[in-house]
Amino acid sequence: MKRALITGITGQDGSYLAEFLLHKGYRVFGLRRRTSTPNYTNIEHIVDRIEIIDGDLSDLSSLIRALQISDPDEVYNLGAQSYVETSWPQPLLTSELTAIGVTNMLEAVRLVKPTTRFYQASSSEMFGKVLETPQRETTPFYPRSPYGVAKVYSHWMTVNYRESFNLFACSGILFNHESPRRGIEFVTRKVTNAVARIKLGLQKELRMGNLEARRDWGFAGDYVQAMWLMLQQESPEDYVIATGETHSVRELLEVAFSYVGLDYRDYVVNDERFHRPAEVDLLLGDSSKAKKQLGWERKVGFVQLIQMMVDSDLQHNQARLYGTYKDQGYDFSDPMVAASLSD
Ligand code: NDP
Ligand code: GDR
């Protein structure tokens, strides 16, 4: 039985990857940082099948301990301060976790078990102000946020540990990938959640930033398979993982609102607070290397992805609404009540 240690297990990708590895028969260990209230929403359905180890990317000794306990064949380093917008007001924390945290993890692997295969979650944000379109493995980096800068550092540290210490270390340069488990502040989930709430009468408007930014959006469930494939190769390399399609935030709004029969122009309000000090205008990835060498291809398309997320947010918000009505004493066994609330 192969053993894997995942950092960022409670996040979007960590939860999909854990499911994927369990399905492959792995023994899965997950590093989680202590929080005052447990944050297991994404993993509650599998938490009894994974082994949780307390630790923090900023604490090398806790990572060494996690490596000793899990004794992994593969480490997937997904933990990070991953929200680009937060990286401006909190640049030092972002550097501490998203940059130095990776060196801590690489050091822990080198010191405890250097034969471990290591995956680093690199990002299309490293391309930033793009110097070539579509972006591929050889496109130069020009990050546009403290987050992007931190990811460039950690990307090159991973390459450096591969070349200096002969670690089997790979960086996956993943373009935006989303799912119903996406954090609520990221643009896709912010939109699909608002669409559901507006449809259900829980929200009146949606305040947004730059609608012209373009992203290459894929489904997280497809992308975690690519992470695993990278660690199954004969030699460690870096790969771009993307759909090869780009859409604007405005197109995202059109798809999400029209799915429930609404026009986004009736609800969206421009709000300066959501405009960034420096923007990444256009991302479009070329993942032909991954297709050729890993045999990887995305399965879920853009419209299908957004509709899946709207459906899921409708369900969540409806359940919450029903809960509220229940607390107020509504009788759901009465078909008239159920029908009036489900419209
Ligand atoms: P999430 O924000 O959903 O998850 C981040 C995870 O990191 C959470 O489990 C979080 O724990 C954990 N974490 C944060 N700080 C620490 C810390 N100090 N010590 C240990 N764990 C910590 O991100 P995603 O799942 O979307 O992304 C996974 C990785 O991939 C990240 O590194 C991200 O930067 C990168 N990436 C993501 C892309 C995307 O489109 N999703 C694209 C390219 C790269 P907690 O729950 O406690 O906050
Ligand atoms: P991004 O994702 O910064 O690409 O980073 P995000 O969804 O936050 O933004 C995408 C684009 O949408 C524009 N935008 C808004 N964004 C947010 N969050 N809220 C808004 O109201 C809004 N209005 C417009 C943004 O300006 C931006 O252009 C994600 C993260 O997962 C990173 O960790 C990862 O590395 C990259 O994707 C690839």
Atom of ligand 2 minimally distant from the CA of 188:
7
* ipTM (interface predicted TM): 0.99
pLDDT of residue 333 exceeding 70, the answer is no
Distance of CA 216 to the CA centre of its chain: 13
- Nearest residue (CA) to ligand 1, atom 33: 82
d(CA 295, CA 229): 9
Contacts with 232 (C-beta within 8 Å, 6 or more apart), sequence order: none
User: How many other β-carbons are positioned within 10 Å of the β-carbon of residue 113?
Assistant: 16
The reply to whether ligand 2 has any atom less than 6 angstroms from the CB of 311 is no
* Selected catalytic residue, list 87, 125, 153, 239: 125
Task: Cite the beta strand spans of 209-316 per DSSP E.
Answer: 214-215, 218-219, 239-241, 247-248, 268-270
Write out pLDDT tens, residues 115-148. 999 999 999 999 999 889 999 999 999 999 999 9
What is the band of 339 on the pLDDT scale with cuts at 50, 70, 90?
Answer: low
Atom of ligand 1 minimally distant from the CA of 183:
3
R_g over Cα of the chain: 21
In the chain, the domains with their CATH numbers are 3-181+217-241 (3.40.50.720), 187-212+246-283+300-342 (3.90.25.10)
pLDDT of residue 337 exceeding 80, the answer is no
**In angstroms, what CA-CA distances link 23 with 182, 215, 341?**
21, 31, 38
Bridge partners, residue 241, by sequence: 174
**In angstroms, what CA-CA distances link 62 with 55, 59, 102, 238?**
5, 6, 13, 27
Ligand 2 centroid from CA 321, angstroms:
28
SS3 298: coil
State the burial class of residue 7 (Cβ atoms within 10 Å of its Cβ: 0-12, 13-18, 19+).
buried
Pocket residue to mutate for ligand 2, from 126, 187, 195, most atoms within 8 A of Cβ: 187
Is 251 catalytic? The answer is no
Ligand 2 centroid from CA 332, angstroms:
39
Ligand 1 centroid from CA 328, angstroms:
38
Atom of ligand 1 minimally distant from the CA of 79:
7
Ligand 2 centroid from CA 186, angstroms:
6
Q: What is the DSSP letter of 285?
A: B
Which amino acid, residue 39? N
The reply to whether ligand 1 has any atom less than 6 angstroms from the CB of 177 is yes
* Selected catalytic residue, list 16, 26, 119, 147: 147
Q: What is the pTM of this model?
A: 0.95
Q: Dihedrals φ, ψ of 81, to 5°?
A: -85, 105
What is the band of 320 on the pLDDT scale with cuts at 50, 70, 90?
Answer: confident
- CA-based angle 276:281:283, to the nearest 5? 125
Is 142 catalytic? The answer is no
Residues 74 and 2: beta-carbon distance below 8 Å: yes
Write out pLDDT tens, residues 287-301. 999 999 999 999 999
Q: What integer pLDDT is reported at residue 247 of this predicted model?
A: 98
The reply to whether ligand 1 has any atom less than 6 angstroms from the CB of 14 is yes
Q: What integer pLDDT is reported at residue 341 of this predicted model?
A: 56
d(CA 154, CA 100): 7
Bridge partners, residue 285, by sequence: 135
Write out pLDDT tens, residues 166-211. 999 999 999 999 999 999 999 999 999 999 999 999 999 999 999 9
d(CA 188, CA 178): 7
Atom of ligand 2 minimally distant from the CA of 210:
24
Q: What integer pLDDT is reported at residue 183 of this predicted model?
A: 97
Residues 291 and 338: beta-carbon distance below 8 Å: no
Q: Give the tokens for residue 26.
A: 């792995």
State the burial class of residue 322 (Cβ atoms within 10 Å of its Cβ: 0-12, 13-18, 19+).
middle
Q: Give the tokens for residue 190.
A: 């912010």
SS3 205: coil
Task: Cite the beta strand spans of 227-267 per DSSP E.
Answer: 239-241, 247-248
Tokens 């295969």 belong to residue: 117
3-state SS string for 72-136:
CCEEEECCCCCCCHHHCCCHHHHHHHHHHHHHHHHHHHHHHCCCCEEEEEEEHHHCCCCCCCCEC
Of 256, 181, 158, the C-alpha closest to 17 is 181
Is 147 catalytic? The answer is yes
State the burial class of residue 160 (Cβ atoms within 10 Å of its Cβ: 0-12, 13-18, 19+).
middle
